[in-house]
Amino acid sequence: MSRVIPRIAAAVAVASVVAGCGLRWFEQREPWRNEAELACIKEGLVTPGEHVRPASEIDGAGACGMTRPFKVSALADGFVAVKPQATLACPIIPQLQSWVAESIQPAAMRWFGQPVVEMRQMSSYSCRGQNGQAGAKISEHAFGNALDIGSFKLADERVVSVRDHWSRGTPEEKGFLREVAGAACKRFTTVLGPGSNVFHYDHIHVDLARRKSRDICKPGVLPTGGLGGWAPGAQPTLLPEGPASSSAREAISSCRFTTIPTASPRPIARASASISRSGRRRPDGGEGDPRSRAAEGDPDRSTVAAAPRRAALALGMAEHPPRRFVRERAEG
């Protein structure tokens, strides 16, 4: 009898673990995931090198894992460090590269007059359920198909943190974070940040999940591509003359703000000018879904103004001319 009890207890414990994990230990990885990885490799969308190194296959519990993972320690040819090193599947890497080159760096130049040199990531590959919750649907992190970014470090060592600056930062910090989050919605199928739920108060989550429903972009922020996205009248910060300025400008001169042809931006719908104040569809067919308005910007409650160009011109950024900036609609 004394031997039977421990065996029963062990069996119950194992059953509890399996049940708590949503039985994912018996799930099979969806075929499209391996196919997407192999296609990405075959098409040469990722160039292995010092900062993006191929790793051994990860065959995790249940469906977790990757066929051809990579260890990513930096993006943009090593200019933007990724700390700690991220373990990712091939398909998401070119989208991250494009996001950095075409959205994050231009936004940093417009808001701060200097580039980002480091991204602090909080989670890459991790065999777990969504939001780390037992019993939840398996997370895209379990396939190396997601990345959580907690902060960005600029050339002068300034750190812009999602947790500390999304709501309580300067206009420049708030604007920068919203601009890069909004731009991410053009490239990833899921973007979650502060305000989306209680689990994303301190980071921006991006992934390439496949789903039948429309893409998820929360909170809805409009990628303006202009000087800001936070408040009319906010000015870019030009670097003062001095050692910090010199080093930052040297870094800027070596930074490549180029389009990566192998990672086409995901299409994003524009806010329709035919949305009525009541939020209903007008006769001309405009979309009046309040959720779409929150995601794409509300033309009835936004303030649009011309953005000054002198910051970009002074720093040799004429190839990325500031356009317009929009005040984000207040969320309830």
pLDDT digits (tens, 9 = 90+) for 177-193: 999 999 999 999 999 99
Q: 190 by DSSP, 3-state: which?
A: strand
**To the nearest 10°, the Cα dihedral for 162, 166, 167, 173?**
120
State mean pLDDT over 133-150: 86
Residue 130 confidence (pLDDT):
76
d(CA 91, CA 46): 8
pLDDT digits (tens, 9 = 90+) for 75-117: 999 999 999 999 999 999 999 999 999 999 999 999 999 999 9
Residue 121 confidence (pLDDT):
97
**Considering the domain boundaries, does residue 23 fall inside one?**
yes
Measured CA angle at 97 (ends 307, 124), to 5 deg: 115
Residue 66 confidence (pLDDT):
94
**Considering the domain boundaries, does residue 273 fall inside one?**
no
Residue 54 has pLDDT above 80, yes or no: yes
Q: 94 by DSSP, 3-state: which?
A: helix
CA distance readout (Å), 36 to 45, 53, 84, 92, 331? 11, 18, 25, 10, 37
**Considering the domain boundaries, does residue 294 fall inside one?**
no
**Considering the domain boundaries, does residue 287 fall inside one?**
no
66 DSSP β-pair partners: 58
State mean pLDDT over 140-145: 94
Residues whose CB falls within 8 Å of the CB of residue 247, separated by 6 or more in sequence, listed in order: 155, 156
State mean pLDDT over 313-323: 32
Quickly count: other Cβ atoms within 10 Å of residue 86's Cβ: 26
**Considering the domain boundaries, does residue 320 fall inside one?**
yes
CA end-to-end distance (rounded Å), the chain: 61
d(CA 224, CA 111): 12
CA distance readout (Å), 143 to 37, 42, 209, 212? 10, 19, 10, 19
Query: For residues 147 and 88, is the Cβ–Cβ distance under 8 A?
Result: yes
Percentage of the chain beyond pLDDT 70 is 57
DSSP class of residue 65 equals E
Residue 28 confidence (pLDDT):
80
**Considering the domain boundaries, does residue 126 fall inside one?**
yes
Residues whose CB falls within 8 Å of the CB of residue 79, separated by 6 or more in sequence, listed in order: 115, 117, 251, 254, 255, 256
- What is the total count of domains within the chain? 1
Could you tell me the residue range of the domain that residue 100 belongs to?
Answer: 18-268+302-326
Residue 276 confidence (pLDDT):
37
CA distance readout (Å), 140 to 95, 198, 323? 15, 18, 34
75 DSSP β-pair partners: 80
d(CA 174, CA 170): 6
Residue 134 confidence (pLDDT):
64
**Considering the domain boundaries, does residue 60 fall inside one?**
yes
Instruction: Check residues 256 and 201 and name the one with the higher pLDDT.
Output: 201
pLDDT digits (tens, 9 = 90+) for 8-18: 554 444 444 44
Burial 27-47 (b: 16+ CB within 10 A, else e): eebeeebbebbeebbeeebbe
Alpha-carbon torsion 287, 290, 292, 294, what sign? positive
**Considering the domain boundaries, does residue 141 fall inside one?**
yes
d(CA 135, CA 33): 22
Residue 61 confidence (pLDDT):
80
